Amino acid sequence: MTDAVRQAKWRERDTKHLVQVRLTPEAVERLDKLVRRAGASGRAELIQRLLMADAGPSPSWVQNESVRLARAWFRATGQRSYSMQDEEFVYEVFAYTRR
C-alpha cells in the first residue's frame, strides 16, 4: 500500500479538521510558552484545550490564563465585577485596586 493510499484511509477515519492560522511572532511565543506550561504535546492540543475548557493534567495554566483574560475584560468594559452561574455554582470575580 502506498503512503498516499494509507494517508487517505487515515483521513477518512480522522474526525478532526485541519485549521490554519496566521499569528504574530508574539502570539506564537505566548502559545509555545503555554504549551510548555500546560504540558501539552503541541500547539493544536493546547488550542483545543483552551476552546473546550479542558485543564488537562496541569490545571494551573488555566488559572493564569483566566486571570489574564478577566483583566482584559475589566479593562475593556470598565466594570469592576462579574458574576455568572452554571448548573451547580455561582462564580464571582472582583477587581480591586492595589493599596
With the CA atoms of 42, 45, 47 and 48 taken in that order, what torsion angle do they form, in degrees rounded to the nearest 10? 170
Note the residue count of the chain: 99
Q: What does the pLDDT average to over 41-46?
A: 94
Q: Domains of the chain: which residue ranges? A: 3-94
Q: Predicted confidence band at 24 (pLDDT cuts at 50, 70, 90)?
A: very high
| Residue of 58, 55, 52, 54 lying closest to 39 (CA atoms) | 58
Span 45-58, pLDDT tens digits: 999 999 998 988 88
Alpha-carbon distance of 94 to 55, in angstroms, equals 22
